[in-house]
Amino acid sequence: MDENELAMLGDSVREVLQSECPHDMVLRHVDGEDLREPLWRTVKDLGWTALSAGEEYGGLGLGPDALALLYRELGTALAPVPLLPTLIASELLYRFGNAEQRSEWLGGIAAGERRVALMQMGATPLRLVRSGSSVKLYGTAEHVLELKGADLALVLARSDEGETARVMIHLQEDGVVAFEQPLVDVTRSFGKLRLDALQLPAGRVLGGPQLEHAIACHGTLAIAADSTGGADTILALTVEYLKTREQFGRLIGSFQALKHRCADHKMALVAAEAILDDAVSSTAADQEAWPDLSAAKVAASEAYAALAQDAVQLHGGIGFTWEHVCHLFLKRAKLNQSLFGSTGWHLDQIGRQLAA
């Protein structure tokens, strides 16, 4: 996509979310008025589920630049929409699936008919046993992202011989037991699957270490983009508050200590955005461009977490209340720090690369 098309996509995503997912609706979602399913219908109707699938499967075949833009806006809106694992699954199938796998799942996923949950990278894999044309899975799949309401789940499994693979579970048909594991950040959701000795056709297996790498790349990019969107928004809200709140007969935004903290946050955010933009370009050019993505995630999620933590402090008492939107940013920021590789893990990736 060229710059103009990207800008148009961005505008349209932003408009949709501003009308379908304003912050006060997210606050009501937190209080139980579900926004997840309505938003899913919206993104399905708008074809966002088809962003990363190839055109032959009804997809738009868009690259990391368009995805980063989408994820940034989702972060801005704090959107509780379970889109991320579906888009990751779509990319995986398109890049690594065989013809049957593509034709079985890709159309439905791109059309938004089938929603996919994804077991987190780095979670303890299930045990995979192959026998002829079928496989068996043993164990419990923890940390399955957006399991709630999903039709499919891509779980991580490893054979005794050390083969690592992803296996597609049909949640309704395969008779597995799903448990919800609600998160503090209710704009996202985790679950777990118990599937002791579940027998499945061998065609359910998507294999290869490149798969985990692709998941890590897509997930890392998504969380980094989500973080810059969230950080930008909570900074703007905080600056706005500082411009209107008075204490000691002055606008508190005129107190230099608070100003310098805001300046440092802004600096960190701008730095993160620069790295993310560059990582997106290099990923578009070369899907193995890994350390850039780690750097982007470290910079963005750390900037977001520090900023969101300080935003509550800068808002004072009002920021400590359930009714104010501050805590939603804080909770999403703290989750972002650990999703798709913690900061420590990503720094170690960078360090290994540097020391190599």
Chain residues in the site for a second copy (CB under 8 A) = 255-260
* Nearest distance, CB of residue 90 and another protein, angstroms: 24
Among 19, 254, 285, 286, binds another protein (CB under 8 A): 254
Q: Is 309 in the site for another protein (CB under 8 A)?
A: yes
Decide if residue 194 touches another protein (CB under 8 A). Answer: no
* Residue 32 sits in the site that holds another protein (CB under 8 A): no
Give the distance, in angstroms, between the CA of residue 50 and the centroid of all CA atoms in the same chain: 16
The binder of another protein chosen from 262, 307, 311, 333 (CB under 8 A):
262
**How far does the chain reach from its first CA to its final CA, in angstroms?**
35
Could you say whether residue 79 binds another protein (CB under 8 A)?
A: no
Tokens representing 262 are 């805001």
**DSSP-based three-state secondary structure for 87:** helix
Q: Give the Cα separation of 99 and 27 in Å (integer).
A: 43
Site for another protein in 126-145 (CB under 8 A): 142-143
Distance between CA atoms of 81 and 292, rounded to whole angstroms? 27
From the list 20, 73, 185, 232, which residue makes contact with another protein (rule: CB under 8 A)?
Answer: 185
Of the two residues 208 and 316, which places its CB atom closer to another protein in the complex? Answer: 316
Inter-residue contact 225 to 68 (CB < 8 Å): yes
Q: How far is the CB of 259 from a second copy (least distance, A)?
A: 7
Contact present, 230 and 75 (Cβ < 8 Å)? yes
- Nearest residue to 74 (alpha-carbon basis) of 10, 151, 6, 152: 10
Q: Minimum distance between the CB of residue 204 and another protein, rounded to whole angstroms?
A: 25
| Residue 120 in contact with another protein, rule: CB under 8 A | yes
Can you tell me which of 7, 177, 197, 271 binds another protein, judged by CB under 8 A? Answer: 271
CA distance linking residue 190 with residue 309, whole number of Å = 23
Residue 5 dihedral angles phi and psi, to the nearest 5°: -60, -40
Q: Collect all residues with Cβ–Cβ distance below 8 Å to 51 and sequence separation of at least 6.
A: 59, 60, 62, 66, 67, 70, 87, 90
| Nearest residue (CB) to another protein, 57 versus 340 | 340
Give which of 231, 311, 234 is closest to 269, Cα–Cα.
231
The least distance separating another protein from the CB of residue 301, rounded to whole angstroms, comes to 11
Applying CB under 8 A, the residues found at the interface with another protein are 120, 142-143, 181-186, 190, 239, 242-243, 246-249, 251, 253-260, 262-264, 266-267, 270-272, 274-275, 277-278, 295, 298-299, 309, 312-313, 316-317, 319-323, 326-327, 330-331, 334-335, 337-338, 342-344, 347-348, 350-351, 354-355
